[in-house]
Structure 1
Amino acid sequence: MSGKKRIVKELGEITSSPPDGMRVRLVDESDVHIWEIFMDGPEQSVYSGGTFRLVLTLPKDYPFKPPILAFQTKIYHPNVSNDDKGSMCLGMLRSDEWKPPNKILAVLNMARNLLVEPNPDDAVETGIAEQYKSNRKEFEKTAKDWTKKYANAKK
């Protein structure tokens, strides 16, 4: 199966039965390589009540190269870069850990699980990770404030 066929198949599966708290669509109908994801902050997390916009970019040689997942909505999280890229640090998305049988659905579920349980030991924002470990109350307060401030645009 060619990469494009597989992408179309995975997109079909995800749009017909989307993961909990997520809506997925193509940014541009003519390009199956760029997906827009709206992810609701999980109820049991400090991001609850927010809706985050992410962009998933699939390389031309997918599934042999991992997709890139980036938060477009600012989020206070140890595993998401605090710059305009919003890069997400997910083990399975590293080129040395990515395996062609991995599915986009697994990537999305893993990203959502990181909102419930950040991984401070694999942080892209070390300051936030330190705060998460040493002062959880302060971390949670800031994460909730950012969620209210940036992630409240309901779609």
Structure 2
Amino acid sequence: MSTGRHKTKLLHNLFNSSTNEMKMKPNQELDDIRKSGMKHFRNIQVDESNILTWQGLIVPDCAPYDKGAFRIEIVFPAEYPFKPPKITFKTKIYHPNIDEKGQVCLPIISVENWKPATRTCQVIQCLIALVNMPQPEHPLRADLAEEYTKDRAKFMKNAEEFTKKHSEKRPVD
């Protein structure tokens, strides 16, 4: 075998093994999350033909969101863990840090803060903390951030009504 072909084959093998390792990380993390019995992220669904897309229910335990559950989608890029996953709320939520399209402002998965060693369970824990405790200083919806800051009682009432109307049923233990 010529030197050029040998190098090409080595590069091909190296690329394929690292690609397979990257695909294994979400798979291993999924197993870890399922085994952990995480009570705030439930009903996890993954299409086995595409392990890079997960759906599940966020089950908050603080008012005004504690009467509902919220479906999210986690999409891992092909470059994961070197690039962060993207989280989208599929269930509407009245929240200053989550916009009408379901996009979420979550610092742990921002490009500038992302670290390849960050585990998906850490991301989910940060997401649940954000849902339970909105951060009006980093809003995606300025109107809701202002309402949350200036008239908390009104915000809580509106968010509770919105949750009753739009959220999914909470899983029964």
Q: TM-score range by the shorter chain?
A: over 0.9
- Give the equivalent residue in structure 1 for 2:22: 3
* Alignment of structure 1 residues 97-136 onto 2, 5 Å: 97-136=113-152
Aligned equivalents of 1:27, 1:15: Cα separation in 2: 12
1:12 aligns with 2:28: no
Amino acid in structure 1 at the alignment position of 2:41: M
Match of 2:128, SS? Answer: helix
Stretches of structure 2 lacking an aligned partner (at least 5 in a row): 1-17
- The CA deviation at 1:10 is 0.4
- Give the equivalent residue in structure 2 for 1:55: 73
Q: TM-score, normalised by structure 1?
A: 0.92
* Alignment of structure 1 residues 4-153 onto 2, 5 Å: 4-42=23-61, 44-83=62-101, 86-153=102-169
Which structure has more helix as a fraction of its residues?
2
Count residues in correspondence: 152
CA RMSD of aligned residues (A): 1.4
- Give the equivalent residue in structure 1 for 2:13: none
- The CA deviation at 1:76 is 0.3
Which protein has the larger Cα radius of gyration, Structure 1 or Structure 2? 2
Aligned equivalents of 1:6, 1:130: Cα separation in 2: 40
- The CA deviation at 1:23 is 1.2
Q: TM-score, normalised by structure 2?
A: 0.83
Match of 1:55, SS? Answer: strand
Structure 1: 4+ residue segments shifted above 4 A? none
Stretches of structure 1 lacking an aligned partner (at least 5 in a row): none
